[in-house]
Amino acid sequence: MRLSATSLVVVSLLLASCRSTSGPEEVLAIKPSNEVTSAISTSAAPIPAAEVAADAGATQEDVQEQHALAWAGQVPQPQALSSATTTVAMPLPAEKPVAMLAPENPATTLEPQVRSRIYSHRFRDAKPINFGKSSPKKYAVHGVDVSRWQGDIDWMKLRTQGANFAYIKATDGGDHLDPMFRTNWRRAKEAGLKRGAYHFFYWCRTAGEQAEWFIRNVPRDPGALPPVIDVEYNAESSCKRRLSTAKIHEKMQVFMDMLERHYGKRPIIYTAPDFYDDHLDGAFREYPFWLRAVAAHPSKVYPGRKWLFWQYSGSGLSHGVRGRIDLNVFRGSEEDWHNWTARAS
């Protein structure tokens, strides 16, 4: 069949519209940061519109940490990132959710449905200290922290000696699990203790790797105490890095944000006097602290710092445990304890 001139023009226009002058379509794949883990849902927030810029001398680990800060929705200190981070599309919250803040006074008006019995402490100390009027014996709720070094613990007996709570070593670094963690985690609950898990932070691994490792190994139990990040110097560690205070804060923030998002509880910071003086004095005011002070009350060792737990001995003795054990107290009365644990659950 013959086509008219008008028909030929129409057909030519249609064919021209189907041709591309730019060549085959290119698909851009945006690769998320290595710090993004299963603890952070990538579908819950948009992918950053631009790469997070690093300082000229930044290492690969620095770049990974900077990516993690963007994904975690945190604003690092100015010297940690360049001004290019302002181009990231993800909204950055101005402050922490009020519901997750640690109260200045642990007492609340909440009433838990079931209250566990509080046992008076019967601990002894291989190296007793006279704390004077600030004696830890004046606190109502005592507890312990344990790891593999306490061996096979008789948790029922330990509880009756005054261990009303226990923090149990879970992980350190990005690949080490305390071999007694699962056993201690299960048996402590069976004995009726309130228990939580802690992670020993390793400065030669990225914060994201360590958070993911902790999350992989510590169950998400609504009744557990908030997770703990243990930050201190360790002369026996093979990691000899000495980071700046800004970098330390950055890594801690990434780790704590990932845990808070996964467990729904604000992590507690454990530390010792030398590390605190060098890096934490005045920092992280919105977080609860667990302080080591084995020779004086925390008010003297950490002036001006509010605290939730006080580790007052590293040489405790108790029935149910072979060898020495760390002893701790909760800052508050029995009523404060019940109300705080109800809030933390």
For residues 215 and 160, give the distance between their C-alpha atoms in angstroms, rounded to a whole number.
Answer: 31
State the Cα–Cα distance between residues 328 and 311, nearest whole angstrom. 4
Which amino acid makes up residue 195?
R
* Residue type at position 153: I
The tally of CA atoms less than 13 A away on the side-chain side of residue 59 is 8
Cβ(123)–Cβ(312) under 8 Å? no
Which of 253, 287, 212 has the alpha carbon at shortest distance from 92?
A: 253
Is 65 an annotated catalytic residue?
no
Within 8 A by CB and 6+ apart from 260, the residues are: 100, 266, 267
Answer whether 114's CB lies under 8 Å from 301's CB. Answer: no
Contact 211/171 with Cβ under 8 angstroms?
no
Task: With beta carbons less than 8 A apart as the criterion, state whether 202 and 239 touch.
Answer: yes
- Rounded to whole angstroms, how far apart are CA atoms 118 and 163? 9
> Which H/E stretch holds residue 199?
strand 194-200
Please pick, among 61, 232, 334, 335, the residue that the annotation labels catalytic: 232
Q: Could you give the dihedral angle defined by the CA atoms of residues 336, 231, 233 and 219, in that order, rounded to the nearest 10 degrees?
A: 100
CB 192 within 8 A of CB 48: no
Give the E-state strand segments of the chain in sequence order: 124-125, 142-146, 165-172, 176-177, 194-200, 228-231, 268-271, 289-292, 309-317, 325-330
Q: What share of the chain is helix, strand, coil (3-state, %, to 5)?
A: 35, 15, 50
Element (H, E) at 72: helix 60-72
C-alpha–C-alpha distance, residues 318 and 320, integer Å: 6
Grouping H, G, I as helix, E, B as strand and the rest as coil, residue 112 is: coil
Provide the annotated active-site residues: 232
